[in-house]
Chain A
Amino acid sequence: MIPIEKKIDILRIMYLIREFEIASRNIFKAHLAKGEFLGALHNCDGQEAVAASIGAILRKDDYVFTTFRGHGHSIAKGAEPKKMMAELLGKKTGYSKGRGGSMHMFDPSIGLMGGNGVVGGGLTLAVGAALSAQYRCSDQVSVCFFGDGAAAIGAFHEAINLASLWKLPVIFLCENNLWAATTPIKFGCPIENISERAKGYNCVGKSIDGNDVYTVYETFLSAVDRGRNGNGPSLIECKTYRHHPHCMVIPEHRPKDEKQMWLQRDPIPKFEKVLQNENILSNHQQEKIRNEIKKIIAEAIKFAEDSPLPTVDTLYDYIWA
């Protein structure tokens, strides 16, 4: 059973991710209108249930390796919206001090081991973090988020094989949103459920509804238990959908009816309804949380806009430790 406060927390984080994504798109567009290009922006609206449920389970010292579509995972791991927003604008006060941008936000102090611009780039690194936890006799777990597209990268197979062989505490968390850039899953993957691949590596595999908070929560919780208890990795495939095109520069090309169907499965109203039915969320409370979130986002934007840019004389900072 999930404690009530945790349920509300999950909803809060879902709101926060959604609002952050909306704000980031608006900022991107506003800058574009001024002729400034803010790089690659990959939003995750529609996939919030996965990030938020997982964030509610992980400890601060657990590791998360995310992707180019990593705002949600970062927020769920405890990243501060204002430092994220500042990074989006390339500011000195951003998570990577303006060096990383949307795709590369790091905060090792909360176990956020970074976004990755390379599809599948985090898979083997997550295995290494798990190896490190095992080596240090710690019960931390290491989570690697990746997309359905990344399951075709050779590194996926190397990572899961090694993790299973050495019983490393990794959770390979695949968000299957049916598309890899403009390529539909049927051109990328010959099986129905990516989790079936776990079998070939003697690893636990589950494919679940990624838009359902309780399902994600429970499945992930048992994977974390497995990891903490030394029973090795898990491969979880969350079926979900992104509400927006791959990134800001790619126009929508997915079938209208498919998108419509998934919009109706939006994880946020879905979870609101669940909580209302359980009588733990009133309209008033919902409104209150939403307003709090709006305020956090507004403050984040202001912080980011008011922050200074890095200066040119710092170009060579941070190359070396």
Chain B
Amino acid sequence: MRDITYTAALREALFEEMEIDESVFLIGEDIADFGGVFGVTKNLLQKFGRKRVCQTPISEGAIIGAAVGAAMTGLRPVAELMYVDFILFAMDQTVNQAAKLRYMSGGTVKVPVVIRAQQGCGTCEAAQHSQQLEAWFMHTPGLKVVIPSNPYDAKGLLKTAIRDDNPVIFLEHRMLYSARQQVPDDTWTIPFGRAEIKKSGKDITVVATSLCVHKALEVAKDNHFDIEVIDPRTLVPLDIDTIAESVVKTGRLLVVHESIAQCGVGAEIIRLITEQYFKAFKTAPKVLGGAYVPMPFAKVLEENAVPQKRDIIETINNMMKE
């Protein structure tokens, strides 16, 4: 075993897949000489050269569009967006094009593109640099959505994303880049659609994503209730069976994420579970998600716009009372 960061894990995945498959290449802003502003692609230029580490102008529409076009014609591009907020310049290429080409072409066209985007909050970067948009992508048929919470998952899922024949939105949380974990010496992949029970428990099911997995685990660690923490890891496809099994066992479901609660990930998970397993509930299921507000700048407001550990504890206590 060895200790690596989330950043290093992502870089290993890129490195390995680029070594195995000549058709894999990277495209994005500041990714070559500087290695990406978050350092994920550091040294890949030295190893693979400019042909395969394509540093672009600030042109998100062209980055995603070119990646999609290249994917339609036999390559496996991995595009990097510095902040997911900027994919909004490329929503046509992502939503109107990438997501629909396979279907519109009656299955004749294939779009094996990965769009890696950094997102998250916690650094006071305000409303245009702090969005977490997984729900937007979940709402679009034809896009897979991956949201790893630790180095092991990041590497294994990114490798799978690159090998997948469909467009994959791969969302990295900026507060996780420095997260460390013991991982195996050799390599691995993780299949999509497999949630992981990060901690098992029998009193309440907490489904959490991305940074909130860590918040939930910390709460679960020294809590007098026996909390089960599940990380779906991929939102499309979503492993609803693992969550359902847990809810049938505990009778309580709390979903925690930083992205906005309204029309969000938690709402969808609860819809799916409630429709089929309504009778399993001992208490109403609940979502702790981002507040319905553009992300404010001031730390004191930012902290209160997303769920914190104290909110998770309080909500669990209330749900356990019922």
Residues of B within 8 A of A315 (CB): 291, 293, 296, 301, 304-305
Instruction: Tell me the residues in window 272-322 of chain B with beta carbons closer than 8 Å to chain A beta carbons.
Output: 291-294, 296-301, 304-305
Stretch at the interface among A17-25, A93-101, A208-216, A225-233: A93-101
A contacts with B: majority SS: loop
What's the count of A-B pairs with C-beta under 8 Å? 126
Stretch at the interface among B58-66, B67-75, B133-141, B161-169: B58-66
Q: Does B123 touch A at the CB level, under 8 Å?
A: yes
Stretch at the interface among A34-42, A56-64, A165-173, A277-285: A34-42
How many angstroms from the CA of A99 to the CA of B301 in the assembled complex? 8
Q: State whether A182 and B33 are in contact (beta carbons under 8 Å apart), knowing that A39-B126, A100-B126, A319-B293 are contacts in the complex.
A: yes
Contact with A along B80-98 (1 / 0, CB 8 A): 0000011001000000000
Q: How far is the CB of A224 from chain B (nearest CB, A)?
A: 28
How many angstroms from the CA of A43 to the CA of B156 in the assembled complex? 39
Q: Which of B57, B124, B128, B298 contacts A149 (CB 8 A)?
A: B57
Q: How far is the CB of A178 from chain B (nearest CB, A)?
A: 14
Q: Does B34 touch A at the CB level, under 8 Å?
A: yes
Whether the Cβ atoms of B37 and A100 lie closer than 8 Å is: no
Q: How far is the CB of A221 from chain B (nearest CB, A)?
A: 30
Whether the Cβ atoms of A40 and B127 lie closer than 8 Å is: no
How many angstroms from the CA of A145 to the CA of B87 in the assembled complex? 22
How many angstroms from the CA of A124 to the CA of B53 in the assembled complex? 31
Q: Does B12 touch A at the CB level, under 8 Å?
A: no
Residues of A within 8 A of B123 (CB): 37, 39
Q: Which of A36, A118, A187, A189 contacts B85 (CB 8 A)?
A: A118
Whether the Cβ atoms of B128 and A90 lie closer than 8 Å is: no
Q: State whether A40 and B301 are in contact (beta carbons under 8 Å apart), knowing that A153-B58, A182-B34, A187-B55 are contacts in the complex.
A: no
Whether the Cβ atoms of B301 and A180 lie closer than 8 Å is: no
Q: How far is the CB of A63 from chain B (nearest CB, A)?
A: 20
Which A residues form the contact surface with B (CB < 8 A)?
36-40, 87, 90-91, 96, 98-101, 103-104, 116-121, 149-150, 152-155, 180-183, 187-189, 250, 253, 309-312, 314-316, 319
The 6 A-B residue pairs with the shortest CB-CB distance in the complex, in nearest-first order? A90-B298, A152-B57, A101-B297, A117-B128, A39-B124, A98-B298
16 A–B contacts, CB within 8 A, in A order: A36-B299, A37-B123, A90-B298, A90-B299, A99-B126, A99-B298, A104-B126, A117-B125, A118-B86, A152-B57, A152-B62, A180-B29, A182-B34, A187-B57, A188-B58, A315-B301
